[in-house]
Amino acid sequence: SGHEDEGGITQNESEYLIPIEFRKAQYEYKKGLIKKQILNTNTIIYLYNNAELSNNDIANTIIVEDATNNKGGIEILLNKKGKKAFAKLTKENIGKPIAVLIEGKVVCAPIVKDVIYDGIIKIPDVFTFEEASRIGYGIKKKKKPQKTP
């Protein structure tokens, strides 16, 4: 059931409705990295193979409505384990991008400016409010187990 997206990102392995991943990335080509385009842009980015954080590292999500354009941002609040991992990740990658993948798509890849200790990650409003709501809900919601015949 887990079909491969281009570049070996498996969609259906996640136990959550909406898989989210944070990966180390860079803008320069490097052999062995996965080439992706950032959503709604022409920007190409190269992802490392392993996710550094995923759904299990998230305590909660908050949808932030931008009423002026019916867009929605997503604020991600990491749990204790996630905060620790994200602080380490940001500390080791200052000046480099961290790619945020939602359902296998790179939605943004902010450049790390500082170590982030508070475990709050803001995903900009690249979504409609409805999409943002669906995603925010699905990131925390586990799939129903498949019934085996």
Task: DSSP letter for 17, please.
Answer: S
pLDDT of residue 12: 54
Residue 77 · residue 139 · CB < 8 Å: no
What are the pLDDT digits (tens) for 71-130?
999 999 999 999 999 999 999 999 999 999 999 999 999 999 999 999 999 998 889 999
Percent of the chain with pLDDT over 70: 91
pLDDT of residue 144: 84
Name residue 97's beta-bridge partners.
111
pLDDT of residue 6: 43
What are the pLDDT digits (tens) for 46-58?
999 999 999 999 9
